Structure 1
Amino acid sequence: MQTAQSRQKSCADKRRRDLDFAVGDHVFVKVAPLKGVTRFSKKGKLSPRFIGPFEILERVGTLAYIALPPMLAGVHNVFHISMLRKYMSNHSHVLNYGTLQLTPNMSYEERPTQTLGRKKRRLRNKVIPMVKVK
């Protein structure tokens, strides 16, 4: 049992990369959509979301002080580095946080904005109406 554990640990340690952020770096901040009681929706690949980029003002141990815009003044500006992702200079990665209503625990509620299409899927014994929502 111990050899299996050490083998798993050695594989995990090779793939692990330490997060290293310096003052002045730009980072994304992780936010989570709320859906009912669960923290993430069932869309597994799309559930983690990041907003930003924001600048790191100060670094204290594993915590980072982030420069947030006045719109997010109600959110505390201290984050653990595990909640941050390095900013890559690609504008398609930026999530528009202007339309999001963030709560103090950095979560938001998903709401449909538009109906894109409707169709009926026919099974053997019944018809299921399907709606595509944005």
Structure 2
Amino acid sequence: MCAQARTSRQLLEGLLEPLPIPRCPWSHLSVDFLTDLPDSGGFTTVMVVVDRFSKGCKLIPLKGLPTAMQSAEAMFNHVFCNFGLPEDIVSDRGPQFTSRCVLGYQPPLFPWSGEPSEVPEVEEWYRLSQEVWERAHVRLQRVVRRQRIQADRRRRPHPSYQVGQKVWLSTRNLRLKLPCRKLNPNFVGPFEIVRQVNPVAYRLQVPASYRICPTFHVSLLKPAYLSAMETGVCEEPPPPLDIEGSLAYQEQALLNSRQV
């Protein structure tokens, strides 16, 4: 009960782990949705695709929140066909992006019968683009380095967690069905760590009724120190001493005292 209600007064755990820095445009993307917009020609949702290298943005109008297949088709028709396949895509891991039909989407293929043609200016344009991209990559590295230094001033290294270890989960981002939010516990659990996803994220064995992604940042976790009563393992006391025909225990040390 105390572990669930206690509020931490220390810095957040987990140093900043920046995303990989791209080296060329449209190789690393981030995707999200703008929903519940005023109706405009039947469109009420916008899929926002941002290139993390050039900060270019692609806005795709949709008629409501799409399904996984509709999301895959929109990405292919409006992004992949124009800029090629990216190396990675960052999303909020909603059902539109975690479904198998998105991860294994196979677009329709058509034969190409056009004749090849040579454009002399392409080689020079490609060389200049490589130089510009390399300079931009160096600048992005500097920015990320400064951001990391600023963020780590308000953070501290997290303890080392192991698979199978029990941890408490913060309720900061959980919607608990309790009558009074002020009386909600600060932590729930403890839950067992299933695997380490990356240096600052772990997957927990949470109940299916939670209906949330089971991967959490270390800032939302804290070690669970279970008592012998909770673990079911009790240390056996030392055998008593025989003092003048009666059994008695001998004190080893006086650990602390308090006057009440």
Q: Same fold (TM over 0.5)?
A: no
Larger radius of gyration: 2
RCO comparison, higher one (Cα < 8 Å, 6+): 1
TM-score, normalised to structure 1's length?
0.42
Q: Could you say which structure has the higher helix fraction?
A: 2
TM-score, normalised to structure 2's length?
0.23
